[in-house]
Every structure is written in structure tokens, then in C-alpha cells.
Amino acid sequence: MKHYPVKSWFDSTIKEEFDKKDKQRRSKEEVKIFYPSSSYSTKSKIANIQLLNTMLSKGFDPEWYVVMHFNDGGKSKREEQRRIQPDEVKKDLWAVKRAIYTELYGKKWIKNKRRARSIWGIEYGQSSIKPHINLLIEDIPNSKFRFDWFLNKKLPEHKVKCLWKQSAHIEPCYYAEGNIKYITKESSFSNSTIIYELTDFIK
């Protein structure tokens, strides 16, 4: 019976093959880290739903569901670019929130501990350049009629420049869990949809 020499772990040919496969394995792992698959979107959506449902369990009681639409920036290239830059969208969204709460509670609204809490989100829908705002807000001191007038008339004409006029839609929030699932439906790696910096989380 013919015996063949046994190659040790340190044999150069084996080591080269091992290094090659190990490099390929680590390369695949790196791809998984920096280029998430569609499953990441599902996990992001589930995480957002769980987070917002926790708010409901802690007492968040939304009264109104509001949708408002950003304009396309008109003829301004600078404003057009603002619509697709997350940080700029958040700045505009903060201006919208500040204007709404100032209308509801006055200039010192941020110190008002009894003010209505709210959840803020951004979606793009079928457009890649014109986002719309999803807002869930608790009971407010204004009537729906006055709130509607403010959002559709006064807000876009005199308070902020980023919204379409007459674009706001308001409806009662009958089923909060359903609204939460709806406003997180586009949650993904590139767009969380929920703007955490503006949302009034309950500790």
C-alpha cells in the first residue's frame, strides 16, 4: 500500500487556500454589514411599530391624524435639494412643529407640560423629491375647523415656506394601532419614516 506524505497545517499550499477562502468569507460579511438586505427594512418597520406601541401603552392618546405635503421648491434648485436632504427636511419640519404649537399654546409652548404630545413622520410615497408629513397628535385646545384653517391657510401662507397651500388633510384617529402601522409602512435603511428628534416620547 502506497503512503502519501501528510501535509501539515503550515504547508504553504494549504495556507494559501485557507487565506483565500477566509478573505472571501470576511468580504461577504462586510457586504452584509454595509449593504443591508430588504430584511433590514422589515426589522426597521417592526422596531418603529414596537416603539410607538410602547408610547400608546404609556398613555399617548392621539386624537387627530394629519397629512401635510411639502411643495417642490418652485423654481429654486436650492429648495428642491432641501426636499431630499434628511437634515434639511428635519429643519423644515421643526419649523412646521414650532409654528403649529405656537398657534396652539403661544410662544412659551415648549415649557407647557400639558401640551398635546405628537408623533412626526416623513414619507415620500411615489415621489422621490416631494415628501409628505404624517402627524399623530393628541387632543388640542382648538376646534377642528380652526385647526384645519390654520394648517391649510395661515401656516403655508404666513408661517413656513416649505408646504403646499391647501394640502393638509385632518381626520379623527379612531384606531391608533392602525395609524401607527400606516405611518411606518415605508420604514427602511434610508428612511426611518419616524422623526425621533421631533416626536414627544414618553419616558
Indicate the pLDDT class of residue 68, thresholds 50, 70 and 90.
very high
Q: How many CB atoms lie within 10 A of CB 56?
A: 14
Q: Give the DSSP letter of residue 109.
A: G
**% of the chain with per-residue pLDDT over 90:** 40
**Residue 105 class from Cβ within 10 Å (0-12 exposed, 13-18 middle, 19+ buried)?**
middle
**pTM for this model (two decimals):** 0.73
Give residue limits of the domains in the chain.
Answer: 38-183
Cell 404609556, located at residue: 58
Backbone angles phi, psi at 33, to 5 degrees: -75, -45
CA angle 103, 107, 108 (to 5 degrees): 120
Residues 61 and 114: their CA atoms lie apart, in Å, by: 13
Domain 38-183 in this protein, CATH class = alpha beta
Is 97 a residue whose pLDDT tops 60? yes
> pLDDT digits over 6-50, tens only?
333 334 444 455 455 545 544 443 333 333 344 545 777 787 888
Of 121, 96, 84, whose CA–CA distance to 197 is shortest?
121
- Are the CB atoms for 100 and 175 separated by under 8 Å? no
Of 9, 77, 85, 56, whose CA–CA distance to 176 is shortest?
56
Q: How many CB atoms lie within 10 A of CB 179?
A: 19
Indicate the pLDDT class of residue 146, thresholds 50, 70 and 90.
very high
> pLDDT digits over 79-91, tens only?
777 777 888 889 9
HSE-CB for 31 with a 13 A CA cutoff: 7
- Mean predicted lDDT score pLDDT of the chain: 78
Could you tell me the three cell numbers for 50? Answer: 414596537
Q: How many CB atoms lie within 10 A of CB 48?
A: 21
pLDDT of residue 145: 93
Residues 163 and 99: their CA atoms lie apart, in Å, by: 12
Q: What average pLDDT does range 53-73 have in this prediction?
A: 90
Is 75 a residue whose pLDDT tops 90? no
